[in-house]
Amino acid sequence: MLLPVPRLTNSLRGPFDVDQAYLHRKSLLQNRQSKRSKDDLELARKLVPRWDEASRDVRQTYKQFLGALVELINGEISSEEFHEVAKTFYDFFSGCDTDSGDLITQRVVDKKGELQKLFGYSISDSTLQKAASLAHRLSSLQSPDDETKLFQAKVADGNGANYHEFGDNITFQFPARFLVETPTANGYPMATDSWTTPISLQEDQDHQSLSSHQSNVRQGTVNLRWLKNVCDRIVGGGSQLSGDELAMALCRALQSNKAGDEIAGDLLDLVGDGAFETVQDLLMHRKDIVDAITHGMSMLKSEKMHSNSQPRMPSYGTQVTIQTESDRQIEKLRRKEEKRHKRGGDYGNMHDFSGESFSSLLIASERKQPLDDVMGTGQGSDSSLVSALPQGTVRLHRKSYEEVRIPPTPTAPMRPDEKLIEIRELDEFAQAAFQGYKSLNRIQSRIFHTTYHSNENILVCAPTGAGKTNIAMISVLHEIKQHFRDGILHKNEFKIVYVAPMKALASEVTSTFSHRLSPLNLTVSELTGDMQLSKNELEETQMIVTTPEKWDVITRKSSDMSLSMLVKLLIIDEVHLLNDDRGSVIEALVARTLRQVESSQSMIRIVGLSATLPNYLEVAQFLRVNPETGLFFFDSSYRPVPLAQQYIGITEKDYAKRNNLYNSICYEKVLDSLKQGHQAMVFVHSRKDTGKTARMLIEIAQKSGDLMLFTNEEHPQFGLIKKEVGKSRNREVVELFGYGFGIHHAGMLRADRGLTERLFSDGLLKVLVCTATLAWGVNLPAHTVVIKFINSLKDNLNAEVALGTVTNVKEACAWLGYTYLFIRMKMNPLVYGIAWDEGYPGKFYCPRMNSMNKPAYAAICTHSPSKPVLIFVSSRRQTRLTALDLIQHAASDEHPRQFLNIQEEDLEMVLSQVTDNNLRHTLRFGIGLHHAGLNDRDRSLVEELFANSKIQILVCTSTLAWGVNLPAHLVIIKGTEYFDGKTRRYVDFPITDILQMMGRAGRPQYDQHGKAVILVHEPKKSFYKKFLYEPFPVESNLREHLHDHINAEIVSGTISHKEDALHYLTWTYLFRRLVVNPAYYGLEDAESNTLNSYLSRLVQTTFEDLEDSGCIKMNEDSVEPLMLGSIASQYYLSYMTVSMFGSNISLDTSLEVFLHILSGASEYDELPVRHNEENFNATLSKMVPYLVDEHRLDDPHVKANLLFQAHFSRLELPISDYVTDLKSVLDQSIRIIQAMIDICANSGWLLSSLTCMHLLQMVMQGMWYEKDSSLWMLPSMNDDCLSHLNKLGFLTLQDLLDVTDMKLQRLLQQSPASELYKDLQHFPRIQVNMRLQKSDNEGSKPPVLNIKLEKTNFRRSTSRAFTPRFPKVKDEAWWLVLGNFTTSELYTLKRISFSDRTTTRMELPNNSINLQETKLLIISDCYLGLDQEFSLGKLNH
């Protein structure tokens, strides 16, 4: 039977015999079946001893069993390993004596741990059950024989795996429990730990992300051409064995609607057991192949319809209906296929393409629809349905901008066995904390039983807004319940600690829990850098809300062990920040808590609250959470309030028009929300933009006549609230309130931020313009959120994270699938992989950069000969050198100005405005430079030229990727290293920078796709290729901060030997990740010996570094703390800081040197020095008394020095950012200076100790010691008053305090006297009485000085220090300094604080001292000029 081939063009082809083709294909496949290896037959005979005599049912079940195993393995392993896995699995379940499903299920449960070790990852019960049932069925279809009994005997032997917990008696030997994911030769992990699948509402679909699949097929390359190549290899190559028929048969099987294991069996039947690796890849990438088939058929169909509508040549007045004729032949072929397979499986819509040759389908699949590269196909001229995003997503094309509207994620339906927990089901005392609630939400109800009725550690991973605060509350109520006896709550038996990632969130949590727990008479207190607690306040507090750093400080101190021993519940919020810079602190305090549980045998429950994250199993194990009972994972479909999103991409090129459009769209979205009766938040990227954006919105509202929608004058409390707002010192807050607007950012005073939050919460503000910090720190939900720092559709990831809708890479892929390049790079684990220990020496860096210029030029000519190109380099110097080399290459091609697209006269006019000589030169050739060294005018000019395509190439530093929205068709990243000034070496760019650079590739309004080229050093090439498409989990950050944490444990006594340090490390998350991902930490594998060697080396080098810094002393394998180490731990300082102190402080260090030492502390390493701030620093350096290094004005330590001097000199700071920076510098300085004082005192250096104390006084008062009169501390002081007081003999504040009120009135005029009297009430009058108790006659007891101190101004009722220029509240304290002022020797130092009066004693040295030269000094830690001096010589007489 002859059938004309469907013609896609007018060309004629020879006739095609369908029946003959089928027979030919059948013959080829039969020939291929005969080539199966002996190994495959060997496996069959191992499982089915009488394989040659096996029935059809046995063979069919065998195929299904192998298919189920392929689906279980979900990865690529060798044939030998597959045979071993198949045999072992079969042995487990072939010996069941019954067909009872319950017994098989029980056996699955019993063997689950061993099976997970066999397969290398967690497996769902349903998947295991299916494979186990097939194994049992295969066994039961055969008659029992001796061989089967032998298999069962093997199963019964050796099941006693010994699992160790974290930190379990390590000699150091590698815990067997962590023998996981050891890579084999081909990279597939064959073993895993005993943790099983977590309880999860999304159990089955999450296994894909948990699996350890490592296919050799690169993601994104699986298509029909790949399938053709695979089939050609299987068939054997050559013209007679093209593989097209095999490919068509595989396509039919993949399009089938059968179950996964049946499809796997069909595929194995087609390709043979020897090629099961291919079957694994086919199943893994089934969706990609089916999508390619569907697309190809769609293209063929549309082309046939198009060709059918055209007249054919030659035309004889008849029309051939190809579709109908094809259908008949395809139906015939389908029937033959069904007979061949002897099974009635449904192959779906295979008749849609069986009439086509595979080659035609392949070619058609590679053609693109007109809108494929945009976002999808749709209807209408101004909208399209976005296929890569959730159903219902629409893209709107407007003039000068595009809009994508994403509907809310559908809420996951309630399961039949799911019910909400009603509040009345709680104990009566617990109901008081849920006033106003009728029931818990779904997530809270799901975790309720474990949280409220057990002591299990738990980890809850859920999206933002899911109600994790109530989960914490339930765990708090459970703990309270443990201490109710006979109706009485024993509050002194327990403490609850809630660790929040930032102070703003701690404040919010404190407020919430205080209010809700008040009916139980529980005290909830905040303990952060802003809020200090006295010892009594700590004792009276039942729940402490703190930050990781603060709790780390508290638990480090052995003196506070009584507090930590009372802790029964530790709640860690936002635990996914383990890989943040502060993650090491969380890790250290959790490890310390676990050690405390082990050593004291006490119970401390740990509750972790987290956003969704991919490797929650490892985090759960680190927190000692049982994944079977305490691990809960919820995706975005469980968000209580579904979130709808709209993304606006501005396509307008003109800057002014673009900015106006930007603002008007923002206004429209806000206005829409207000018209619906809702409030709105607008997030902007800087503090300055909060007020600017608010005023812009008000201006547009005024012009459009919509201002009444924003105002809040109709509110019943408006008049009262307006008076309260009017008292604010923030002019913008007051001004904007009248229009119904508010602003919120970290630079505002806490009182103003709190006021704004309350106004918005009460509905008195309709619109709140804020920075991203509000998304973390304050729980202020709004109906509409507009994020105003998004300039294009591909740059939305930050916004997603801020909104809480994207919390891991998987969600980012789902929501932003239309930006293929960006998503692929987001999955690039650049931050993981090899650790490059040394970087690259500078002498090789420049030649390597130079060698990359020619490939960069070639990439431009190949990928973007006429479209815009961005080239990212590492430094300002490299921008110039790269541009000059590109000019040279273009000249050698005889096209030196090929990158220029501007008329000569226009160019000359532009060049006349350019200041930078290098930029002026390169612009002549169409190449621009962009870096922080250019002035604002030059930068704006070059940005405009590039945006308007007047120049084709822009060579820039990485700052442009973050700061300016200038997309290009091609992005070239020329080298992935930069010189780090802090470490003084070349290091890799952070992953975020690389992604941001690559995200600039592709211009939505012009390009269907973007291109990115990364030029890297050869040793890194394989690293980039290997990890390009793999997701990255949360890694440990402990290693970078290990010295400080190890030092703290040595000081506390936890570590006194190397073995202790090794034991400590096994409690950390770092240890868990070393086992799972050794390559990230520079290990070749996770073998026991490798880990032992690595950890031992890590401990040894850490100990050596700490010893070199003077923090510890090593004696063979034992260690003990030294003075510097103890001070570093006590004051929470870096070991590098105290080491620097020890090297630079001497017995008579001057104030100027102390200031340089203070500024040089490593705690100021991260003080930001922003673009152009070196100019501000240069100006400040000319206004302050002490010199700084003028060649390092961009150094953070130089800036810190200048900020200190400006503070002492009371200078006006140049910009508002400096005000915020000064607060940060002053905040950290207290503990740093106190540490310096302790170092001086321990060394017996009297003069240096006093100088350092005066430095602290200067910090607290913002004045110079001795240069400024202490009388300036009085608020009413002015020049005239100071001069008058000096003439009267009052030179210091102490002079005034020593005068009686009546005498002061008599000496001064009436008006200033009253003001001065009022000001003096801020300062304490201290009366000192001393008595010397001499040593006994034998001299065995040293002489003792008894001291009594009393405040005599009784009208002063506070101990709070009067420090108006210091940003935080502080209590008064005094130093008692006993020393010899002739020899400058310090004998004793004591620090005290008291309210009204106190007595204390100080021992003098045993040896004979000269009492005539010995003095006692009383020195304030916060006031200048109140020092008092007493001679012991007079006291002796």
Tokens of 1428: 């008092």
Please state, in angstroms and rounded to a whole number, the distance separating the CA atoms of residues 244 and 528. 69
Secondary structure of residue 105 in the 3-state scheme? helix
This prediction has a pTM of 0.51
Q: What does the pLDDT look like over 554-571, one tens digit per residue?
A: 887 655 667 888 899 999
Of 1117, 1135, 1104, 1110, nearest in space to 1055 by CA:
1117
Report how far apart the first and last C-alpha atoms of the chain are (Å, whole number). Answer: 133
- The pLDDT assigned to 982 comes to 58
* 3 state SS of 680: strand
**Residue where the block lists tokens 């607008």:** 682
Mean pLDDT of 1189-1203: 92
Q: What is the pLDDT of residues 1147-1172, one digit of tens each?
A: 999 999 999 999 999 999 888 787 67
Please give the Cα distance from 1138 to 1131 (Å, whole number). Answer: 10
pLDDT at 1254: 95
| Strand positions, DSSP E, 443-575 | 458-461, 484-485, 488-489, 495-499, 524-527, 543-546, 567-572
**Which of 9-18, 276-285, 1129-1138 shows the lowest per-residue confidence on average (mean pLDDT)?**
9-18
More confident: 737 or 326 = 737
Residues in the chain: 1437
Write out pLDDT tens, residues 639-658: 767 777 777 777 777 767 77
Q: What is the pLDDT of residue 1049?
A: 93
CA–CA distances in Å: residue 232 to residues 25, 30, 246: 13, 16, 9
Q: Is 1222 in contact with 1215 (CB distance < 8 Å)?
A: no
Cα radius of gyration (the chain):
38
User: Does residue 871 or residue 335 have the better pLDDT?
Assistant: 871
391-435, pLDDT tens digit by residue? 677 777 777 777 777 777 777 788 888 889 999 999 989 999 999
Tell me the sheet residues that pair with 543: 496, 524
Q: Cβ distance 931 to 942 under 8 Å?
A: no
Tell me how far apart the alpha carbons of residues 856 and 839 are, in angstroms, rounded to a whole number. Answer: 23
pLDDT, one tens digit per residue, over 1206-1242 is 999 999 998 867 887 898 899 899 999 999 999 999 9
What is the spatial distance between Cα 892 and Cα 1135, in angstroms, rounded to a whole number? 56
**What rounded mean pLDDT belongs to the chain?**
77
- The per-residue pLDDT for range 1388-1427, each reduced to its tens digit, is 999 998 888 899 999 888 767 788 888 999 999 999 988 9
Alpha-carbon distance of 283 to 286, in angstroms, equals 5
Half-sphere exposure of residue 560: CA atoms within 13 angstroms, side-chain side: 16
Q: What is the mean pLDDT of residues 214-219?
A: 59
Alpha helices in 184-321, H assignment, sequence order: 203-210, 224-235, 244-254, 260-271, 276-284, 286-308
Q: Contact at 8 Å (CB) between 215 and 75? A: yes
Helix 442-453 crosses helix 468-481 at what angle (to 10 degrees)?
Answer: 20
Q: Give the span between the Cα atoms of 618 and 625, in whole angstroms.
A: 10
pLDDT confidence of residue 1407 = 65
Instruction: In whole angstroms, give the CA distance from residue 1207 to residue 1226.
Output: 9
Burial of 839 (0-12, 13-18, 19+ CB in 10 A): middle
Strand 680-683 and strand 645-650: the pairing is unpaired
Sheet of strand 567-572, all strands in order from the earlier edge strand to the far edge:
524-527, 543-546, 495-499, 567-572, 605-610, 458-461, 631-633
| Residue 68 to residues 139, 550, 1345, Cα–Cα distance (Å) | 15, 52, 85
pLDDT tens for residues 48-85? 887 877 887 888 888 888 888 877 776 556 666 778 78
| Cis preceding linkage at 642, omega within 30 | no
Residues with Cβ within 8 Å of 1052's Cβ and at least 6 positions away in sequence, in order, are 556, 557, 558, 1129
Helix axes 1123-1130, 1042-1052, angle to 10 degrees: 110
| pLDDT exceeds 60 at position 882 | yes
Nearest Cα to Cα of residue 497 among 478, 525, 456: 525
Do residues 451 and 471 lie in contact, with contact meaning Cβ atoms separated by under 8 Å? yes
d(CA 1151, CA 1252): 7
At 915, is the pLDDT very low, low, confident or very high (cuts 50, 70, 90)? confident
What's the CA gap between 1324 and 1297, in Å, rounded?
8
For residues 666 and 1353, which has the higher predicted lDDT (pLDDT)?
Answer: 666
3-state helix, strand, coil in the chain (%, to 5): 50, 10, 40
Q: What is the DSSP letter of 900?
A: B
Structure confidence at residue 1047 as a pLDDT band (50, 70, 90): very high
Structure token pair of residue 671: 């206005």
Give pLDDT, residue 561. 67
Cβ–Cβ contacts within 10 Å for residue 251, how many?
23
Q: How far apart (Å, rounded) are the C-alpha atoms in residues 928 and 943?
A: 8
Measured CA to CA, the distance from residue 861 to residue 866 in angstroms comes to 8
Percent of the chain at pLDDT exceeding 90 = 27
Which range of 130-144, 437-451, 588-602 scores highest in mean pLDDT? It is 437-451
- Split at pLDDT 50, 70, 90, the class of 834 is very low
DSSP assignment of 938-956 equals: HHHHHHHHHHTTSBSEEEE
Q: CA-CA distance, 1287 to 1292, in Å (whole number)?
A: 12
CB atoms within 10 A of CB 1372: 21
pLDDT score recorded for residue 960: 74
* Chain mean position to CA 22: 57
- CA dihedral (1201, 1207, 1212, 1213) positive or negative: positive
Q: Alpha carbon 1347 to chain centroid distance?
A: 54
Residue with tokens 């295969």: 138
> Are residues 193 and 180 in contact, defined by beta-carbon separation less than 8 angstroms?
yes
Coil/strand/helix, residue 742? strand
CB distance 148 to 72 below 8 Å? no
| Between 912 and 210, the higher pLDDT residue | 912
Residue 1425 is encoded by which pair of tokens?
């000029």
For 1313-1344, b where at least 16 C-beta lie within 10 A, e where not — what string? eeebeebbebbbebeeeeeeeeeeeeeeeebe
- In sequence order, the 6+-apart residues with CB closer than 8 A to the CB of 647 are 403, 404, 406, 790, 793, 796
- Across 398-412, 632-646, 723-737, 778-792, the highest mean pLDDT is recorded for 723-737
Question: DSSP readout, 1276-1327?
Answer: T--HHHHHHHHHTT--SHHHHHTS-HHHHHHHS-HHHHHHHHHHHTTS--EE
Torsion region of 927: left, alpha or beta (phi above 0 gives left; psi -120 to 50 gives alpha)? beta
